[in-house]
Structure 1
Amino acid sequence: MADKPPPATKPKPKPSAATADGQARTTTSLKKPPLAPPPQVRPPLKPPPAHQYRQQQQGGHPRKRRYRNHRGGGCSGRRVCCLASGFVLLALCLALAAACLAYLYYHPRPPSFHLQPVSATRFRIGNSSAASALDVTVAVKVVSWNPNDKVSFEYGDGDGRVALADSDGDVALGWAPVAGFHHGARSVAAVGFDAAAKGVVVDDAVAARVRDRYRRRQLAFNVAVDTHVGARAGALRTGMVPVRLLCDGGAMAPRGAASGSVAGPMSKCQVYLFRVRWLSLN
């Protein structure tokens, strides 16, 4: 069988000149690079200031360096406060220890005070149609006993007040200055003053009771003394602090008794140091 001849290939048609020109334009438009943005003009760089350059050369960033300095100042301030607090606490501990040793060595005890019977050197009740009035002069004497062997007391100038005790209220009889004095160890000291009141108006009922009690020598007096006291033990000496004596229920001296003499039972006085009652630790 005879071989068949291969089929004849058709020749490709040649593109026309217009088509070729259009393809060339398309290829050229696709391959054309995009337009570059215009160059931006940058200002010339300025050198840093001289002080900033020195700070960077010395310690790095200025903010960090300032922060470190601030922390260092705070630490030193806290250290000073801690040292000062420690010294204060140490001083307080030493003072407390010295006070305890002084108390154990000297063993101080508070003095006792007693009010002697009050003598009325002048006592008169005036009667009138308007009201009754008192004209009274009394002599007051307070005796103190210091039981300490090595501790003495120093009392400053003060003032004393006297009142007549009554169920309807105390009747003030005036006040008088009280002189200061030194109270040595293991000794007895006395301080006295005279108080006078004139024209003290009272009710008729009070005047009647006072007149009756005066005739029977049963009047009661309340005495208060305000002064300052300081203690001394050897080379140690304290400052002056306020003290108040309250002597309630003082008796009246009998007739004929000399002024300031002991002629009856004495009443005990309460001592208030800084307005706090003075207690014995024995």
Structure 2
Amino acid sequence: MADKPPLAPAPAMKPKAKTSAAPPPPVAASAAAPGQARTTPPLKKPPLAPPPQVRPQLKPPPALQYRQQQQGGQPRKRRYRNHRGGGCSGRRVCCLATGFVLLALCLALAAACLAYLYYHPRPPSFHLQPVSTTRFRVGNSSAVSAMDVTVAVKVVSWNPNDKVSFEYGDGEGRAELADADGDIALGWAPVAGFDHRARSVAAVGFVAAAKGVVVDEAVAARVRDRYRRRQLAFKVVVDTHVSARAGALRTGMVPVRLLCDGGAMAPPRDGSSGSVVGPMSKCQVYLFRVRWFSLN
């Protein structure tokens, strides 16, 4: 049987292109001889990447570390509180309180205006009668002289109101002898309180006594000369409290001061009537240390 001819070698298969970014290595274009195995060059391994660098962990400050340990290692979370509601409510309360106060002041002012228009109050007037000296003695000395003086003071008040009366509390009165070199204090005495009704006249008086008041010779000489000529001048101050009453309305006690300057010395008493006759000096009234004046 005849021999079969040898089979032709199979055509070489082309290698598939790699999808990697690097281009495939060139393949030799020489044809393999029949009966010889095809050899391929060995693949090159890519270079190894350097190992990643490990950064050392930084330790927290001692204060923060201690705080984290106290809290179980958990970082503290900030808590944000909503203060908006409390602030609004407090502001609303302040606005309401201010509004009520302003409303009360307006009502009080309106009531005071109506009361003034209805009652039309006027301040009382005070006058100082001439001061009578029950005892007056000035010692004679070449260097220093002593005075013994006792004076009787009387203040007359007139209430011109028709519907308003006044009530005066207990106080005190002081008398001084006026002089160019300085007033000479003659002592003080208590003053009893009294009621002053509408459209009426009231009087208040006290007796002040001074013993052993030392003055120099020049002052003693002037005082003796004025006493002989009945030209002594006195100054009277009365401190007390007063309240006003109009119908069912009544005010509280407030301080008041009467200041009577230029009080004259009383002339000799009239034998027939026994009263002090002479011109009276007007007194100034200070309410709360402010001068009392009339709006009429």
Amino acid paired to 2:285? V
Question: 1:149-228 maps to which residues of 2 (within 5 A)?
Answer: 149-228=162-241
Question: 1:1-282 maps to which residues of 2 (within 5 A)?
Answer: 13=30, 23-26=41-44, 29-30=45-46, 63=79, 66-67=81-82, 70-257=83-270, 261-282=275-296
Could you tell me whether the CA contact under 8 Å between 1:141 and 1:260 is conserved in 2?
no
Could you tell me whether the CA contact under 8 Å between 1:139 and 1:260 is conserved in 2?
no
| CA pair 25-148 structure 1, distance change in 2 beyond 3 A | same
| CA pair 160-246 structure 1, distance change in 2 beyond 3 A | same
| CA pair 119-257 structure 1, distance change in 2 beyond 3 A | farther
Which runs of structure 1 show a deviation greater than 3 angstroms over 4 or more consecutive aligned residues?
11-15, 32-37, 257-262
Aligned-partner SS, 1:142: strand
Distance 2:245 2:254 in 1: 13
Task: State the 1:130 CA deviation.
Answer: 4.3
Task: State the 1:24 CA deviation.
Answer: 2.2
Match of 1:59 in 2: none
Could you tell me whether the CA contact under 8 Å between 1:111 and 1:146 is conserved in 2?
yes
What is the CA RMSD across the aligned residues, in angstroms?
2.8
Could you tell me whether the CA contact under 8 Å between 1:140 and 1:260 is conserved in 2?
no
Aligned-partner SS, 2:102: helix
Aligned-partner SS, 1:191: strand
Could you tell me whether the CA contact under 8 Å between 2:143 and 2:216 is conserved in 1?
no
Could you tell me whether the CA contact under 8 Å between 2:187 and 2:210 is conserved in 1?
yes
The unaligned stretches of length 5 or more in structure 1 are 1-10, 38-61
Match of 1:55 in 2: none
Amino acid paired to 2:281? S
Amino acid paired to 2:283? C
Structure whose alpha-carbon radius of gyration is higher: 2
Per mean C-alpha deviation after superposition, the further-off stretch among 123-132 and 175-184 is: 123-132
Aligned-partner SS, 1:166: coil
Task: State the 1:13 CA deviation.
Answer: 4.9
Could you tell me whether the CA contact under 8 Å between 2:269 and 2:275 is conserved in 1?
no
User: Between Structure 1 and Structure 2, which shows a larger proportion of helix residues?
Assistant: 1
Task: State the 1:256 CA deviation.
Answer: 2.8
Distance 1:12 1:93 in 2: 116
| CA pair 136-250 structure 1, distance change in 2 beyond 3 A | same
| CA pair 33-14 structure 1, distance change in 2 beyond 3 A | farther
Aligned-partner SS, 1:199: strand
| CA pair 36-124 structure 1, distance change in 2 beyond 3 A | closer
Amino acid paired to 2:257? R
Could you tell me whether the CA contact under 8 Å between 2:141 and 2:217 is conserved in 1?
no
Distance 1:268 1:12 in 2: 146
Distance 1:162 1:264 in 2: 19
**TM-score normalised by structure 2 residue count:** 0.75
Per mean C-alpha deviation after superposition, the further-off stretch among 102-111 and 163-172 is: 163-172
